[in-house]
Structure 1
Amino acid sequence: MKLQLFPQENAGLELLSRMASQLLRGTAVLAEILGADPEEFDRLTEQLHQIDAETIDLHFALMTQMRTSFINPLPREDLYELSLVLMSAMECLDASAETISLYKLSGVSRRASEQLEVIGRQAELTASAVRRLASLEDLEEYWIEMLRLARRAERSRRIWVAELMREYKPLAYARHRDLADQLSGTSAELRRAATFVGGILVRES
């Protein structure tokens, strides 16, 4: 008899939750990078590359689970779309680390830490929310809080970009702006996940 780590009908949601939790791990590593000396950038960035690779493995595990299971808590298309969004968020987070490593960025604005704080909270909420998709319990609060966090992140990004324009010459501005855009992209993808969950909630309620 094949061993199952969790009930078959909830396996897809568990895998999605683990993908969101990977973003929490990645956020912690990126926070280390922001506080590290430049000679540590490559080593820490490699750690984030590994977390990204594990996230891709979870995505393919979800695809396998959907193909082999007759029972899924949601339509396969919904599970697949959410998985793609979470994978894209991790890709943006990984690119943030690579940007710092490639350019050897130092003296990064505290706005980056503000962005990471929001991303970490978004990932935490998403990991919890996807586990509840089978029952659709308390998802309205998740949806609303994620939108609030995304607005906070976007406002912080606008302030960050304005500060960069005042303080840096064009080449340095472009490098720091690249980092700001990648972090903003991570938050935006997590907001997209919440919007998608909101659509499921409206459709399935």
Structure 2
Amino acid sequence: MKLRLFPQEDAGLVLLSDMAQQLVLGVRTMSGILGADKRDYDSLTEELHQHEANSTDLHFALLTSMRSSFVNPLPREDLYALSRMLNEAIEKLDGAAELISLYQLSKLSRRAAEQLEVITRQAELTAGAMKRLNSMDDLEEYWIEILRLAKRAERTHRIWCAELLNDHKPLIYARHRDVANQLVDVTKDIRKVATHVGSILVKES
């Protein structure tokens, strides 16, 4: 990490960490949705909506913090990019939950659970990484592991879609494919977070 000549305000990093934690909580709610009765979809989806709303509030709070802080721990453009990507990830997760509720889907493929396992690990790693941005400790390992998980998610998505096409009529296929697309997009957004962390590491080295 480069030597900083002036005191820095770490509010931006705290807010990023809080956003990452909302993603972790959202993933837990999504896990509940996958195992829930249809009658519980609405309440669980509303719970995930709240996590997404909390994340959005934190995103706007970070924008306010950047404008009012004299010295930020990272360049403003990096703080903004990470915040935006984290918020987009939970938006996609929220979208997947809403689709399951709207379509009243049941008996989702086991690939959904496999995909959620990847997202859970990505979210937990990202929450830890956001707490270490000030020191940059072990972030290269985080970057590499997220990329590995993202590749696994892409492969699971391809297999899932192929199985859907083989096993379902067009309307059912389309509905399940919508959910599959939303979930893989979550993994892509978290990958963007990790890739941006990697670019920060290169700049700060």
Q: Is TM more than 0.5 here?
A: yes
Contact map agreement 2:8 2:73 (CA 8 A) in 1: no
* Partners of 2:194 and 2:33 in 1: CA distance: 28
C-alpha deviation, 1:8, in angstroms:
6.2
**Segments ≥4 residues shifted beyond 2 Å:** none
Letter in 2 for 1:124: E
C-alpha deviation, 1:113, in angstroms:
0.9
* Partners of 2:116 and 2:50 in 1: CA distance: 19
Q: What pairs with 1:77-92 in structure 2 (closer than 5 Å)?
A: 77-92=77-92
Contact map agreement 2:13 2:130 (CA 8 A) in 1: yes
* Partners of 1:11 and 1:110 in 2: CA distance: 40
Q: CA offsets per residue over residues 131-173 of structure 1, 9 Å max, x none? A: 2222222111011001011011111111111110110000000
* Partners of 2:85 and 2:69 in 1: CA distance: 22
Change (3 A) 1:42 1:8: farther
Tell me what 1:33 maps to: 33
Identity %: 64
Tell me what 2:148 maps to: 148
Tell me what 2:165 maps to: 165
Tell me what 2:20 maps to: 20
Tell me what 2:116 maps to: 116
Q: CA offsets per residue over residues 31-70 of structure 1, 9 Å max, x none? A: 1111111111111101111111000011011111111111
Contact map agreement 2:153 2:187 (CA 8 A) in 1: yes
* Partners of 2:52 and 2:135 in 1: CA distance: 29
Does residue 48 (structure 1) correspond to residue 48 (structure 2)? The answer is yes
Contact map agreement 2:20 2:86 (CA 8 A) in 1: yes
TM-score by length of 2: 0.94
Gap runs ≥5 in structure 1: 1-6
Q: Report the number of matched residues.
A: 199
Letter in 2 for 1:184: V
Letter in 2 for 1:78: D
